[in-house]
Amino acid sequence: MIELEGLTKRYGEKVAVNNLSFAVRPGMVTGFLGPNGAGKSTTMRMILGLDRPTAGDVRIDGTHYDRLKDPLTYIGALLDAKAVHGGRSAFNHLLCLAQSNGIPRARVHEVLDTVGLTPVARKKAKGFSLGMGQRLGIAGALLGDPRILMFDEPVNGLDPEGIHWIRTLMKSLAAQGRTVFVSSHLMSEMALTADHLVVIGQGRLLADTSMADFIQRNSRAYVRVRTPQPEQLSDVLAAAGITVVRTGDGAFEVDGGKAEHIGELAARHQVVLHELSPQQASLEEAFMRLTAESVEYHAHSGSGATGGDAPAARSWGEGWKGEG
Ligand code: ADP
Ligand code: MG
């Protein structure tokens, strides 16, 4: 278990992590989601004692990282932009890690096997592809057979096969009862891997919820309707007890109605329809709404936008790919 309490990190004026409190529990994959610059990597560095909190506290199974004896046997991590000595072979890199952490040499062979690098174990890491480097980093995280694993944006830049492999690995580690904490800036990625979701924006906690709850609350089903007779359709639907929302482009969004029912009502009252389409709001949209405020800064800088859905959605794209 990882426990954060009021964890805060300031870099000068910039508050990178703002009073974060949550727990990461064993036996499941916990997704750590937020746009670029939200504070995910900073939080993970503080968990590992690589960055000192300005305020607050973080504990690993009740203890600070610095006080863990043989920390690699408690928590293994793959950080963003990790540095592997390129001149060393994969085997030697892992052997050095093992020797400095009291881990037997045989374990190096085991983890090389687990990540599928045995055939290239004697090759220099600097010739490795991104995917192979990522596998080597994961082998290092697994070396101490820790009960807690932490991965910072592990699928970034990987090909579909590598992404699939990492997803499967994370799920199997959680199924073994381990604590798995993985960051991403992609809702779609989290939806496929995480059982639990912690969302942050601008360093602040925005959600701490089970994935199932998040999906249930946020996947709104509605029917989109367009008609050249909006007043008539409004009246017909209102009379049937159906509430509609008018969208900016002159269409209606009908919550909780079936397309068949709406179509039949319209036909009965001779209202012409130009569109009648069932829609499902995506989780990506839910995530954008949740974090819109935390990326507004990007939208307003120089654009003169005044808020509302469209600018927020645009800003999201910028915030998404913007700073690293
Ligand atoms: P994420 O991993 O979610 O993309 P980061 O934790 O990398 O976010 O960054 C959070 C914020 O803190 C960003 O605004 C970033 O520019 C800032 N930041 C991170 N590390 C430093 C640092 N060493 N010095 C100054 N600012 C930093
Ligand atoms: Mg990061």
- Give me the tens of pLDDT residue by residue for the chain, a chain 324 residues long: 999 999 999 999 999 999 999 999 999 999 999 999 999 999 999 999 999 999 999 999 999 998 988 889 999 999 965 556 668 899 999 999 999 888 999 999 999 999 999 999 999 888 888 888 889 999 999 999 999 999 999 998 788 999 999 999 999 999 999 999 999 999 989 999 999 999 999 999 999 999 988 887 877 788 999 999 999 999 999 999 888 888 877 788 888 778 999 999 999 999 999 999 988 777 888 888 888 876 655 544 333 333 333 333 333 333 333 333
232 inside domain? yes
Place of tokens 């359709």: 233
Ligand 2 centroid – CA 184 distance (Å): 8
Question: Minimum-distance ligand to the CA of 291?
Answer: 1
Question: Minimum-distance ligand to the CA of 35?
Answer: 1
287 inside domain? no
What is the number of residues in the chain?
A: 324
Whether residues 186 and 222 fall in one domain:
no
Whether residues 142 and 8 fall in one domain:
yes
Whether residues 234 and 106 fall in one domain:
no
Residue whose Cα lies nearest atom 21 of ligand 1: it is 11
Question: Minimum-distance ligand to the CA of 156?
Answer: 2
Task: Residue 228: give its domain's CATH number.
Answer: 3.30.70.980
| CB-based contact 77:141 (threshold 8 Å) | yes
268 inside domain? yes
Identify which of 149, 139, 199, 191 has the alpha carbon closest to the alpha carbon of residue 170: 149
146 inside domain? yes
Task: Give the pLDDT score at 296.
Answer: 53
Ligand 1 centroid – CA 184 distance (Å): 15
Whether residues 235 and 209 fall in one domain:
no
Please state, in angstroms and as integers, the Cα–Cα distance from residue 204 to each residue in 8, 15, 22, 207, 217, following that order. Answer: 9, 10, 11, 9, 21
Q: How many CA atoms lie within 13 A of 289 on its CB side?
A: 10
> Count of CB atoms within 10 A of residue 131's CB?
17
Q: Which residues surround ligand 2, an ion (CB under 5 A)?
A: 40-41, 80
Any alpha helices (H) in 223-282, and if so which ranges? 230-239, 259-268
> Count of CB atoms within 10 A of residue 323's CB?
9
The alpha carbon of residue 279 and the mean position of all alpha carbons in its chain are separated, in whole angstroms, by 24
Ligand 1 centroid – CA 115 distance (Å): 30
Task: Give the pLDDT score at 136.
Answer: 92
Output DSSP code: residue 282.
Answer: -
**Hey, which of 9, 14, 80 would you mutate to test ligand 1's pocket, going by the most ligand atoms within 8 Å of its Cβ?**
14
User: CB-based contacts of 213: which residues, under 8 Å, 6+ apart?
Assistant: none
| CB-based contact 156:134 (threshold 8 Å) | no
Output DSSP code: residue 206.
Answer: E
Task: Give the pLDDT score at 277.
Answer: 93
Ligand 2 centroid – CA 43 distance (Å): 9
Look at residues 166, 181, 216 and tell me which one is the last residue of a structural domain: 216
Q: What are phi and psi of 139, to 5 degrees?
A: -60, -40
Question: Minimum-distance ligand to the CA of 323?
Answer: 1
Whether residues 162 and 259 fall in one domain:
no
Whether residues 120 and 268 fall in one domain:
no
320 inside domain? no
Whether residues 154 and 224 fall in one domain:
no
303 inside domain? no
Whether residues 113 and 260 fall in one domain:
no
CA–CA distance, 295 with 24 (Å, rounded to integer): 25
Residue 264 domain boundaries: 218-280
Number of helices and strands in the chain (H, E): 11, 13
Count of structural domains, the chain: 2
Identify which of 200, 222, 210 has the alpha carbon closest to the alpha carbon of residue 290: 200
Whether residues 88 and 194 fall in one domain:
yes
DSSP 3-state of 65: helix
Task: Give the pLDDT score at 128.
Answer: 87
Question: Minimum-distance ligand to the CA of 16?
Answer: 1
Identify which of 193, 274, 175 has the alpha carbon closest to the alpha carbon of residue 233: 274
Ligand 1 centroid – CA 301 distance (Å): 19
Identify which of 144, 146, 164 has the alpha carbon closest to the alpha carbon of residue 155: 164
Element (H, E) at 130: helix 130-142
237 inside domain? yes
Q: Can you spell out the DSSP letters for 104-122?
A: -THHHHHHHHHTT-GGGTT
Whether residues 227 and 104 fall in one domain:
no
Task: Residue 116: give its domain's CATH number.
Answer: 3.40.50.300
Ligand 1 centroid – CA 37 distance (Å): 6
Residue whose Cα lies nearest atom 22 of ligand 1: it is 11
Output DSSP code: residue 67.
Answer: G
| Structure-block tokens of residue 289 | 């709404």
Whether residues 115 and 259 fall in one domain:
no
Whether residues 100 and 167 fall in one domain:
yes
Which amino acid belongs to residue 174?
A
**Hey, which of 8, 42, 294 would you mutate to test ligand 1's pocket, going by the most ligand atoms within 8 Å of its Cβ?**
42
Task: Give the pLDDT score at 286.
Answer: 82
Look at residues 184, 216, 248 and tell me which one is the last residue of a structural domain: 216
Ligand 1 centroid – CA 285 distance (Å): 25
CA–CA distance, 286 with 144 (Å, rounded to integer): 38
Which amino acid belongs to residue 311?
P
Ligand 1 binding site (Cβ under 6 Å of any ligand atom): 11, 14, 16, 34, 36-42, 323
Ligand 2 centroid – CA 274 distance (Å): 45
136 inside domain? yes
